[in-house]
Amino acid sequence: MTDIATSPPRESSLTALFKHSRYVLGENPVTGFAFALFVLIVLASVFGPHIVPYDPLASDTTQALKPPNAHHWFGTDQLGRDVFSRVVVATRLDFFIAIASVALVFLMGGLAGVAAGFFGGWTDRIVGRIADTIMAFPLFVLAMGIVAALGNTVQNIVLATAIVNFPLYARIARAEANIRRDAGFVEAARLSGNSDWRILSFQILPNVFPILVVQMSLTMGYAILNAAGLSFIGLGVRPPTPEWGIMVAEGSAFMVSGEWWNATFPGAALMVAVFCFNLLGDGLRDMVDPRRRT
């Protein structure tokens, strides 16, 4: 194949990133769509509770189980609450669960993995053993166990999700740290007197972040699905808190008898959010490392 012997003049990395992003978005309109959707979700979480027509917790048993109509766009649930308002307000909680889980696992897994890859030896072995033990469990079952043992609060759901995803982040971070451990710039930093921890935090971790970011958007989707699954078996968020998963769980009983709107709308919201995060992850992957496109 023809080599390009001379390279284009160097442009600022920000312009390069912008151009590259535009190219990727152009190549793949689906990614652009996912970005737009993501913005919508963020807006809904921030402004949702202020703009919904009904109080999500206000029940009105005279209006129970009404199908979608002009007053209640998504119908009402078994306690007469407006499904639309609940779905929109639930965005905030589910988005929070997603973000919190991902932040926690990035810190836990990312740091552990980077330390393991950088220091090697016992650090590596211990982190490896922990990761192997976690991975030996079917992951959802482990999450179930953790929440059941510690109590079903939002914090524990977030913790369980983080623990369950720990091995994956640790492994990716470790691999990246391993590659860079002997890199030139690390040697230079070491020689100029930087302590190992400084090198880890300021040289290696920032380099590992772009690669983990791809995984993080996928984990966001997983966190929401996990919370939903836990709610379904009774280990999730407690009623009457509006959360997509528990709304589906409560609505599922009515599904079999034909009142489909209870479960379908929150389920659809779930799917849209997770779908958006997954597509975002793909798009980010294209931007960060086109060779790894799937």
Q: Give the residues lining the site for another protein (CB under 8 A).
A: 1-6, 8, 23, 27-28, 30, 129-130, 132-133, 135-141, 144-146, 148-151, 221, 225, 228-229, 232-235, 245, 248, 252, 255-258, 260, 263-264, 267, 270-271, 274-275, 278-279, 282, 293-294
Q: Which is nearer to another protein, 87 or 235 (CB)?
A: 235
CA distances from 282 to 121, 132, 286 (A): 34, 27, 6
| CB of 47 vs another protein, minimal distance in Å | 24
Contacts of 127 (CB under 8 A, 6+ apart): 112, 113, 115, 116, 170, 174
| CB of 200 vs another protein, minimal distance in Å | 26
| CB of 268 vs another protein, minimal distance in Å | 9
Q: Which is nearer to another protein, 5 or 14 (CB)?
A: 5
| CB of 211 vs another protein, minimal distance in Å | 16
Q: Which is nearer to another protein, 3 or 182 (CB)?
A: 3
Q: Which is nearer to another protein, 134 or 201 (CB)?
A: 134
| CB of 106 vs another protein, minimal distance in Å | 21
Q: Which is nearer to another protein, 11 or 60 (CB)?
A: 11
| CB of 269 vs another protein, minimal distance in Å | 11
Q: Which is nearer to another protein, 100 or 263 (CB)?
A: 263
